[in-house]
Structure 1
Amino acid sequence: MAIHTQDYWATAGVNDLTQLYQHVAFDDLAATAVLATLAMLYLFRGTLWDRQDPHVFKMYERPQEKMGARATSQGSTRDIAEKLQQADADIVVLWGSQSGTAEKFANRLSREIRQRFGKSAIAADVSDYEPASLGHLPNSSLAIFIVSTYGEGEPSDNMNDCWSWLESTSGAPLAQLKYVTFGLGNSNYKYYNAVADRVAARLDSLGAHAFMPIARADDAKGETEEHYLDWKSSLFSTLKDQLKYQEHDPVYEPFVEVLEDSSLSDLDVLHGQPFGKANDRRTLRTKSPTHALPVTMAKELFQNTADRNCIHMELDLSEQPGVKYKTGDHVGIFPSNPVGEVERLLQCLGCQQRRQLPISIAQLRTEDKLNIPTPTTLDALLGYYLEICAPVSRETIASLVQFAPTSADKDALSSLNTDKAAYAELQHTRYITLGSLMQHVAPEEGAWSGLPLSFILETLPAMQPRYYSISSSSVVQPRRVALTAVVADKALPGTQERVFGLCTNFLLALKSSISGACHPFGLRYPLEGPQGALSSTKVFAHIRKSTFRLPTLPSHPIVMVAAGTGIAPFRGFLQERARLSRMGREVGRMILVFGCRNEQDFIYQDELLELQQALGSSLTVVTAFSRPVNGSKTYVQDRIAEHSKELCDLLTNSDANFYICGSAAMARDVSKTLETQLQSQQNWDGEQVRGFMEKQRRTKRWHQDVWG
């Protein structure tokens, strides 16, 4: 028989209640005391009890992790003056680099200063030091800035802190600083070398003294290397004239030591997996960790074109829940080098039998920065970690002379180094990589066996990821990333030689393998990846954040201008707005101006028709064909002029966001045309137009995602 609680307490005696209360109170106190004791024991674990042997880490420590890129510098400082003092150096070469070119030049310059003048110099990532510490450098020191400009006059990611400090600081804290500035840029961009110009201007305003006039490299015609060599020659002359440096013939001095170590096991060695500052806080602000991502789709976008390819590829993020992207971000792909180029280098060096032996790489100077992993193998270095397909400069040829197998070979290399015409002629007949140059001069197998491996590591740049605008929407397919890439290859005039884009041909080989075909030009890549890490059709990739974003309000109007694969981010934009429209959300006016050669190159044509149907009158697609089958050629800037009345109205009266994606030359022409039309439509003078354009950029209503 059930007894209700109310009835039980009505029949219970007072003594029973008292005993029950005392029993419950005692149990509560005992339980609280036990919990408190356990909590105290946990808090003081490792202090009052269970103290770990302070040397227990030695059981798990790998001695090779103290070497090379994995080493943690002892007594590292963020004061650049203190760092120079520690290194007993007079010159610091500070680099701000997005793609690695400025970093490469900084490392080369610091080494050559040591070799030519016997003066200690260090190359330094500008983000590794407090910008204010530049003011601590004595007047006897020299700071050389090698900085790149990209996008809309933006500094490289590693320049952000220094840039902010330069822009926000006042007074004359750099009155003792003596500096030189060398800028890397592309004159096809509107803000050509803006970062170098701004850095020099701000240094001057803060009291610094320019040691020599600012110099600029222009990559519009691929002349960055030659411009660097000309500037370097002027710098060295100034060092001799003003600082009385004594120059002598350079003798190769390695800054790394390469040792074969058969005691290492496969578990100790990196065989080609991407490495780097994956857990660095600054890196994680802009990039996700790198993972092997499955390829879920790969298809050809060009129609009826046997000699040209455009790839649409989709990567699956499902296995990596921590990796996310937003519409407009970039995906970075890590390619591998083609098998043929790896074999050519190994044959020149006579190292085929030693390619898989574990090697350790040790830095001989703590101030030099090593951007390759250790321990590893020669096969992994040449296959994954070094840009062995990079073109060879005359400076590299000059350094290679001393290792030439014969005196005749030395004469041949010396001629290429000193005679610009001879070097240019060779460039016109073949694409000069380190392997092809060595083979051209001395083709016998093993002819270059005397070339130190350290020379190759110091000469060839580290492999860099290639970035592509994501062509999907994170709202529509949050766990799948799409990219769009035209495969780069061109024939050298009058020859059978072809120049192949590294990453796009890697992607083409991957796409071909999915359908069971071979690469159309016979290029082979290790698609299985290091130790099978990319089997089942995967690529190493990561996500890089971008500021190329849709407006927060879907109702805000947008104007998009693209040429070729520049349509990629706009595919994601339109997918997202179509989804919002289907959900009943109001979407703003959208105009897409898209240029390509002809209808065979009209990528995503069917999708755009479907999106037009979904978005109705909200979306207008305007095409421009530069090589039409029938009719006259038109470019996107021509269409901008034709539709200028509505475009100018959207920009000036509706605060529309304006986006350009494609080549820098196209973006420059579009900007000029739009400025002309605004001046005409609004009756503005040149100053008013420039003021309006600057305002659009300041208020984040003008966006560019362009390349050289």
Structure 2
Amino acid sequence: MTAEEAVAPPPTMPAEATRKAASLSVLYASQTGNAEWVAKHIHEEALVRGIKSACHVLDDHAKADLSGNNAIVLVASTTGDGDPPDNATKFWRWLRRAKGADLEAFKGKPYAVLGLGDTNYSNFCNTAKRLDRRMNDLGSIPFTKSGFADDATGLEAVIDPWLKKLWADLLTVVEYDEAKEKAFRENAGNAESKLDMGKFGVAKKDDAAKKTGAKTTSATPVDNASIAAVTAETQALSLSDQDRSSVANQFTSPADSSAHDPTPIVVSPAGLQAVTTLTGVAKLPTKYLEVERMPDAERPIAHSRTNYFKLSAGHESAFEFTAQSPYLAHISRVRCLTGAVALKRVLEIELDISGLGWNYTPGDAFAVVCPNPDELVLPIISRLGLDATALYKAGTAGASASQGYPFSMDEPVSAYEMFRYHIDLHAFPKKSFLRMLAEHATDTSEKKTLLYLASTQGAADYRGLKAQQPSLLDLLVSFPTCSPPLARLLESLPHLQPRYYSVSSSPLGERETGTVRFAFNVVEYATPAPYHKPVAGLCSTWLDKLTGTCTDRKWQDVSDTALTVPLFPKPRPESSHPFELPSDPSAPIVMIAAGTGISPFLSFLDHRARQLKQTPPPPSAAFASSWLVHGCRFPGADGDALYDTEISAYLADGALGHLTRCHSRVEAPPLPADAGVSYKYVQHALAAESVRVAELLADARARFYVCGSVAMAREVNGALAAILVSQGICADNVAAIARLSEMQAEGRYLRDLWT
């Protein structure tokens, strides 16, 4: 998809809509922080350009005064399988129920839409497209083309040209201060987008290598001594905290830091040395924050670890808890679900949520608010020359009423707290961020490399950074003369986002009263060759260390340790078809999962097993038409066939009617010659039982559930489409895909996916 193809042309503005709007309202719906970052920077640039602007999350739409004389810019991502982000669910509910004057206010209102999505998912940019359609239906007028950016190919390929066109078109529909706009253009002109690299006087690559002894393929000459110095300073800072040894709580990090050791990035020397002129260099981020260190004020690291998240009181609903104000759930038990042969460890944790007031149902999910590891936080603070315990206050420059704070400004925040709890230190660097780093690098070679990566000529190397997965520390070590001010970092880096987990338990039963369970992989891997950088999952590693790196298959009681996990319930999506059991217990269900995708289905089955023990129980044959298809690598107690004991019990007591296991690392039993498949993956099992699958696809009462990775779901979707064709239900693949889409719209085909 090209940038042009990703943008839909607007109709011509009618004559009655030519009166300029008095202000701009920027509204966003964001799940991972990308849409929020874009929206807030549009808002900040608007203020600098002399436009009266306000920025709000969609759920706070009432604060935006949509009935006023304003233009609207909507920036929206999509989560799950086409659902709106959690912070847009109230908006959709309001919009669906709105009447009269509320809807009339949209008529003739100028608007623009930018969608952020991923074509790996079937409902690409669904939230933004729904917004676009609804605004059109209400009579609003798009003043610029709608843009739909694809994370699979790089969001900036669409976002950057869309923003350029946005500003040209926005100034024709909204009032602005001409003097401020002129000053902005002059400043932007000074920050050139076309640069002659000769002015940097860069030494030849051989000379640079001789000077430092570094490999010429590194981003900049960085020797091992520099990296060692950062690590040594970090250890000294960490160990100098007199309270560290006495802290035994969830925020203490392990000593092993191999996954966080600084790794200089690699840039192609051929591409870099061949460049004489750079074009399309990314714009500098708008400056809007002022950060001030408070004199003689500090907060010890140990205090921050133990007291930063405090149990919130006065919440009338479980859904009032948020990432900024989470509920502290005590850990009750932990166990390992995998054996010695498994390539990954899977843990299950039970949490005490008796004070949360959350009446969860099977299929629900919640978010864990996890911190960055000290092994990354402390070296960054040291590298930037900051005092970890110093307290800071931040405000907006000039008259800006910014909504772009990276953290709550109700009270001062320490440098440690900023980097530990608020900033995403693993976020893939935007080109504008690299441009900002270039402004604060004193070495000409480093400056050239950063500008090259932020330019059109460096596009291939910029894309190559994806495979390297550089952290903020990696970038700072790669460019040792770069020392960006704290305010510029806070403006440029996205917020640290919570991690979502599906419930694996039922709220029924004595043990489950006031508790919830969830399962997860302990994520560990290395980046591809030639980098081989070790990577540890942020939240899964933290939870693993928090619970003592459990390897025991039996439940371990840790309730006496006072360990807590900050969390908040995930709001139900604004959909009439949530990921939950059908109300009719006799309706056939097919549950398809790989790995930990089985978690919500365990909550389904656990719930049904407990229903069978209730008085009066459902009919004995009520759940006979339930079918679980689960994929793993290795069978047995030593493998990763999760919940074997529980599933056997569900089969025995009738909570589950049929089970199909698939093992990708084990040769499957031979099948009839005409079957043409093996039970290696879940899609193979579906194809092998195509007649039965077809009968269920044709049954209007049956529901299909898929939970797992996007890649797995794509294969399952293809297998189901092929079955629809081979069994004569659909004429061809196009018709089969359309049929599956209809099933999704009807709530008969539900998917809970992740990348």
TM-score band, normalised by the shorter chain? 0.7 to 0.9
- The answer to whether 1:469 aligns with 2:502 is yes
Q: Which moved more, 1:416-425 or 1:201-210?
A: 416-425
Any idea what SS the aligned residue of 1:201 has?
helix
Are the counterparts in 1 of residues 300 and 389 from structure 2 also a CA contact under 8 Å?
A: no
Any idea what SS the aligned residue of 1:540 has?
strand
C-alpha distance in 2 between matches for 1:266 and 1:346 = 14
Tell me by how many angstroms 1:370 deviates. 2.4
AA aligned opposite 1:470: V
Tell me by how many angstroms 1:380 deviates. 1.2
Match of 1:391 among 390, 411, 428: 428
Q: Deviations over 1:464-522 (max 9, x none)?
A: 21011111111142333221112333322212312332112212222445679xxxxxx
Write out aligned runs for 1:498-577 (5 A).
498-513=534-549, 536-546=562-572, 547-577=578-608
Aligned to 2:73: 144
- The answer to whether 1:336 aligns with 2:265 is no
Match of 2:750 among 688, 700, 703: 703
AA aligned opposite 2:152: A
AA aligned opposite 2:606: Q
Aligned to 1:460: 493
- 666 and 431 in structure 1: CA distance in 2 versus 1, 3 angstrom threshold: closer
Tell me by how many angstroms 1:237 deviates. 5.6
Tell me by how many angstroms 1:182 deviates. 1.0
- The answer to whether 1:308 aligns with 2:241 is no
Are the counterparts in 1 of residues 336 and 551 from structure 2 also a CA contact under 8 Å?
A: no
Any idea what SS the aligned residue of 1:568 has?
helix
Match of 2:662 among 616, 619, 624: 624
Q: Deviations over 1:97-146 (max 9, x none)?
A: 2232211111123334555x4545443222222499545335xxx42211
C-alpha distance in 1 between matches for 2:750 and 2:169 = 41
Q: Which moved more, 1:180-189 or 1:153-162?
A: 153-162
Aligned to 2:627: 591
- 194 and 514 in structure 1: CA distance in 2 versus 1, 3 angstrom threshold: closer
- The answer to whether 1:362 aligns with 2:395 is yes
Give 1 or 2: higher helix fraction: 1
Any idea what SS the aligned residue of 1:312 has?
strand
Are the counterparts in 1 of residues 289 and 394 from structure 2 also a CA contact under 8 Å?
A: no
- 100 and 133 in structure 1: CA distance in 2 versus 1, 3 angstrom threshold: same
- 350 and 305 in structure 1: CA distance in 2 versus 1, 3 angstrom threshold: farther
- 668 and 285 in structure 1: CA distance in 2 versus 1, 3 angstrom threshold: farther
Tell me by how many angstroms 1:388 deviates. 1.9
C-alpha distance in 1 between matches for 2:94 and 2:569 = 28
- 439 and 293 in structure 1: CA distance in 2 versus 1, 3 angstrom threshold: same
Are the counterparts in 2 of residues 97 and 147 from structure 1 also a CA contact under 8 Å?
A: yes
C-alpha distance in 2 between matches for 1:653 and 1:544 = 31
Aligned to 2:261: none
Are the counterparts in 1 of residues 360 and 507 from structure 2 also a CA contact under 8 Å?
A: yes
Q: Which moved more, 1:500-509 or 1:399-408?
A: 399-408
Q: Which moved more, 1:563-572 or 1:239-248?
A: 239-248
Aligned to 1:68: none
C-alpha distance in 1 between matches for 2:318 and 2:612 = 36
Aligned to 1:644: 690
Q: Deviations over 1:227-253 (max 9, x none)?
A: 433433443465689999653444763
- The answer to whether 1:606 aligns with 2:632 is no
- 439 and 422 in structure 1: CA distance in 2 versus 1, 3 angstrom threshold: farther
Match of 2:160 among 202, 223, 229: 229
Question: C-alpha root-mean-square deviation of aligned residues, in Å?
Answer: 3.8
Tell me by how many angstroms 1:573 deviates. 1.1
AA aligned opposite 1:593: V
C-alpha distance in 2 between matches for 1:125 and 1:258 = 27
AA aligned opposite 1:624: C
Aligned to 1:579: 610
Alignment: residue pair count: 591
Q: Deviations over 1:369-403 (max 9, x none)?
A: 42413322111111122222222221111122222
C-alpha distance in 1 between matches for 2:607 and 2:499 = 25
- The answer to whether 1:97 aligns with 2:30 is yes
AA aligned opposite 2:649: E
Tell me by how many angstroms 1:591 deviates. 0.3
Any idea what SS the aligned residue of 1:360 has?
strand
- 167 and 132 in structure 1: CA distance in 2 versus 1, 3 angstrom threshold: farther
- The answer to whether 1:414 aligns with 2:448 is no
Tell me by how many angstroms 1:696 deviates. 4.5
- The answer to whether 1:128 aligns with 2:60 is yes
C-alpha distance in 2 between matches for 1:197 and 1:479 = 40
Are the counterparts in 1 of residues 373 and 420 from structure 2 also a CA contact under 8 Å?
A: yes
Are the counterparts in 2 of residues 627 and 633 from structure 1 also a CA contact under 8 Å?
A: no
- 256 and 459 in structure 1: CA distance in 2 versus 1, 3 angstrom threshold: same
Query: Can you give the 5+ residue segments of structure 2 that lack an aligned partner in the other structure?
Result: 1-20, 189-283, 553-557, 573-577, 670-677
Tell me by how many angstroms 1:660 deviates. 1.4
Query: Can you give the 5+ residue segments of structure 1 that lack an aligned partner in the other structure?
Result: 1-87, 517-527
AA aligned opposite 2:385: G
- 428 and 644 in structure 1: CA distance in 2 versus 1, 3 angstrom threshold: closer
Aligned to 2:271: none
C-alpha distance in 2 between matches for 1:564 and 1:486 = 9
Any idea what SS the aligned residue of 2:372 has?
coil
Any idea what SS the aligned residue of 1:174 has?
coil
AA aligned opposite 1:603: L
C-alpha distance in 1 between matches for 2:125 and 2:560 = 39
C-alpha distance in 2 between matches for 1:112 and 1:433 = 27
Normalising by the residue count of structure 2, what TM-score does the alignment of the two structures yield?
Answer: 0.69
C-alpha distance in 2 between matches for 1:683 and 1:539 = 49
C-alpha distance in 2 between matches for 1:131 and 1:205 = 23
- The answer to whether 1:258 aligns with 2:292 is yes
C-alpha distance in 2 between matches for 1:688 and 1:431 = 40
C-alpha distance in 1 between matches for 2:75 and 2:700 = 41
Any idea what SS the aligned residue of 1:129 has?
helix
Any idea what SS the aligned residue of 2:496 has?
coil
- 100 and 89 in structure 1: CA distance in 2 versus 1, 3 angstrom threshold: farther
